[in-house]
Copies of this chain bind each other. A is one copy, B any other.
Amino acid sequence: MLKLNTAQNRTPGFDGKRLHLLESAARVFSRTGYDGASMRRIAAEAQVSPAGIYNYVAGKEELLYWIQYHTFDSLLRSLNRSLEGVSDPRVRLATAVRNHVRHFGENMHELKVCARELETLEGEAYDAVHERRRSYFEAFHNLVKGLQPEQGHQPDSWIATANLFGMINWFYQWYDAGRSRMSLDDLAAQQTALFLDGYFASTSNGDDGGNE
């Protein structure tokens, strides 16, 4: 199961075409869901014949796998990059949330697929994506734990992180990038403030809650 399309003799432009195919698939998946999306529709979206898809991926399953793996991997990568040189715990968390929300806004289709089809893959493919996802969550969990260096043990930090993930993942359900008057950065700041200081403090202050 899940025989990946291994490296072989390729034509220049192969990678670019496969990337284009993955983007098209992500669009269709985000619109109709994984099961509701047909290879024929994906092919039409990518302007290829249905059979032509199989020159670039081994099957429908691998399309979803690459989309999810690439998304979590690049999320994690850009997170680590944006955290470089930032030391204040509150600012670090704010940076992470901003990175997440920006990534969401710019790759709405991919992340929608990642949020909705978490349990679709099975076996090795699921495990591989799960590992990246877990790493990303752990990164956030560490940021949350880092908020309180004075306390040795914080039993609820895991659940607090899970709730934070709820806020920053659920917003794809209601946020419309083109139509909203609020920018992605403003939204991220508000979510950070809400998590750190709660609704009262984050709204009675004019700013985002005091992160430097």
Contact = CB atoms under 8 A, between A and B. Distances in A.
A196 B196 contact: no
Nearest to A209: B198
B154 A203 contact: yes
Contacts of A154: 203
A54 interface: no
B173 A118 contact: yes
Contact of A170 (B165, B197, B201, B202): B165
- Please give the count of copies of this chain that the complex contains: 2
Contacts of A212: none
Contacts of A160: 190, 194, 199, 202-203
Contacts of A199: 144, 147, 160, 195-196
B203 A197 contact: no
A154 B202 CA distance: 12
Given A166-B170, A203-B156, A195 B194 contact: yes
Nearest to A197: B198
Interface of A: 32-36, 116, 118, 120, 144, 147-148, 154, 156-157, 159-160, 162-163, 165-171, 173-174, 182, 187, 190-191, 194-203
B166 A171 contact: yes
A167 B162 CA distance: 8
Contacts of A190: 156, 159-160, 163
A104 to B, nearest CB: 12
Contacts of A156: 190, 203
A162 B190 CA distance: 12
Contacts of A118: 173
B191 A197 contact: no
